[in-house]
Amino acid sequence: MIYLDNCATTRPLKSVIDAMTTALQEDFSNPSSLHQFGYAVSKKKEAIRESIKDYFNCRSGELYFTSGGTESNNTAIRSAIENKGAGKNVVTTNIEHPSILNVIKASEMELRQVAIDETGHIAFENLMDAIDGDTVLVSLFHVNNELGSINPVEEWVPKIKAAYPTVKVHVDGVQAVGKLVVDFDAIGCDTYSFSGHKFHGPKGIGGLLVKKSVKPFIYGGGQEMGMRSGTENIPGIYGLGAAFDALKEEDIALDEAEARMDHLRAAIETIDAISINTTAPASPYILNVSLADTRGEVLLHMLEEKEIYISTSSACSSHRTGKNPVLTALGLSDNFAEGTIRLCLSRETTSEECDEFVVALKEAVETIRSIMRR
């Protein structure tokens, strides 16, 4: 199997599975229980929080465990809107994940979406032009899940805060964590979200970094420092801790990731009538490409016959009907847009797998084109 759908989810590490098994088989007590068995697990949970906080350069009181990226994004946005005062609008981009866009749309706030240019990036001047004295929140992706474009949030957030000190800034870091260095203090945003299953951890666990919390996100028994009630997902937290431990051991290995991506890019560029839609600054793990006179979905199914797994657009929005708004924003013609695939690598992907994939892709492209170009 060649798995190139790592933006949708990643394979959990063996150490993650082992840690979760320990939680399920041995450390199954409720961390809120007053007895020794409960306290021991509560202590381990707090040790994991302490260790994760070092990865983000944040304080342990700023890190809340959640069920993943969607909950973290919803929580950050709803909290900001709930405390809006006289504010009226939320500024974001036109290529955010649905867990950002749909929660804003469900509110009564005016939604301002700054459009990407034809390179797939936001121009900072356009972002600043969209913010005004009525802005409650600015929500930005760190790495875009479809194109891989990076927003230089360490540079932008301090400038936004300097110009509009009361505006809250949220950063969706789901596709960045584990792949880029993330320094919560240096970014200076109010909230930052991440999700375990995107970097070889378990599904259903993630976190929200919060500079200053105001009200609880979920009311109940007062778990998570009173902010997010509900019996903790201890197997998830143990697995998440193991995924971060692996990151610390292996480092971010950015050079390695860049070399692997350069290799894939060079191989794929040998196919004619191709548009590489991912442009620097971008994650070295994501490559979005369009192949004229093909169909992305047909390519996906031809490749799956060979146990090669890719995606046409983000898995979370594959239920979408109509044109992909990201591709429309890039100004791609319908012929290219319809032949778009997304390749997402991981630390486990090898250059040999990339080569094998490109050979299979070439074959599939030739087969489709021989029919479509008749």
Catalytic residues: 316
Residue 215 host element (H or E): none
Say which residue the tokens 């778009």 belong to: 340
Binding segment toward ligand PLP, per CB under 6 A, in 64-72, 149-157, 234-242, 357-365: 64-72
Question: Which residue is nearest to ligand PLP, using beta carbons?
Answer: 69
Minimum distance from residue 131 beta carbon to ligand PLP (Å): 21
Contact between 68 and ligand PLP per CB under 6 A: yes
Q: How many chain residues interact with ligand PLP (CB under 6 A)?
A: 15
Among 6, 19, 44, 69, binds ligand PLP (CB under 6 A): 69
- Joined together, the tokens standing for residue 174 give 């789901």
Residue among 77 and 308 whose Cβ is closer to ligand PLP: 77
Among 89, 312, 314, 349, binds ligand PLP (CB under 6 A): 314
DSSP assignments along 68-89, one per residue: -HHHHHHHHHHHHHHT-TT--E
Helices (H), 207-253: 234-250
Residue among 70 and 213 whose Cβ is closer to ligand PLP: 70
Strand partners, 114: 93
285 secondary structure, DSSP code: T
**How would you label 210-219 residue by residue, b for 16+ Cβ within 10 Å and e otherwise?**
bbebeeebee
Contact between 17 and ligand PLP per CB under 6 A: no
Contact between 141 and ligand PLP per CB under 6 A: yes
Q: Which of residues 76-135 bind ligand PLP (CB under 6 A)?
A: 97, 99
Minimum distance from residue 46 beta carbon to ligand PLP (Å): 23
Note if the bond before 31 is cis, omega within 30 degrees: no
Start-to-end CA span in the chain (Å): 33
Minimum distance from residue 145 beta carbon to ligand PLP (Å): 3
Strand partners, 113: 92
The alpha carbon torsion through 242, 244, 245, 250 (nearest 10 deg) reads 130
78 near 215, Cβ under 8 Å?
A: no
190 near 168, Cβ under 8 Å?
A: yes
Residue among 87 and 235 whose Cβ is closer to ligand PLP: 235
Minimum distance from residue 99 beta carbon to ligand PLP (Å): 5
For residues 152 to 191, the per-residue mask of contacts with ligand PLP, x marking binding by CB under 6 A and - elsewhere, is: --------------------x-xx----------------
Minimum distance from residue 203 beta carbon to ligand PLP (Å): 7
Residue among 42 and 195 whose Cβ is closer to ligand PLP: 195
Residue at 241: amino acid letter: G
The crossing angle, in degrees rounded to 10, of helices 234-250 and 14-25 is 150
Contact between 206 and ligand PLP per CB under 6 A: yes
Contact between 145 and ligand PLP per CB under 6 A: yes
Minimum distance from residue 34 beta carbon to ligand PLP (Å): 32
Is residue 222 helix, strand or coil? coil
Return the number of other C-beta atoms located less than 10 Å from residue 307's C-beta. Answer: 10
* Sheet (strand 274-276) strand order: 274-276, 286-291, 340-344
Residue among 27 and 224 whose Cβ is closer to ligand PLP: 224
**What does the alpha-carbon distance between residue 311 and residue 4 come to, in Å, rounded to a whole number?**
8
Among 6, 74, 135, 195, binds ligand PLP (CB under 6 A): 195
Among 218, 253, 273, 316, binds ligand PLP (CB under 6 A): 316
Residue among 97 and 228 whose Cβ is closer to ligand PLP: 97
311 secondary structure, DSSP code: B
Residue among 27 and 172 whose Cβ is closer to ligand PLP: 172
Minimum distance from residue 66 beta carbon to ligand PLP (Å): 9
Residues that bind ligand PLP in the complex, under the rule CB under 6 A: 68-70, 73, 97, 99, 141, 145, 172, 174-175, 195, 206, 314, 316
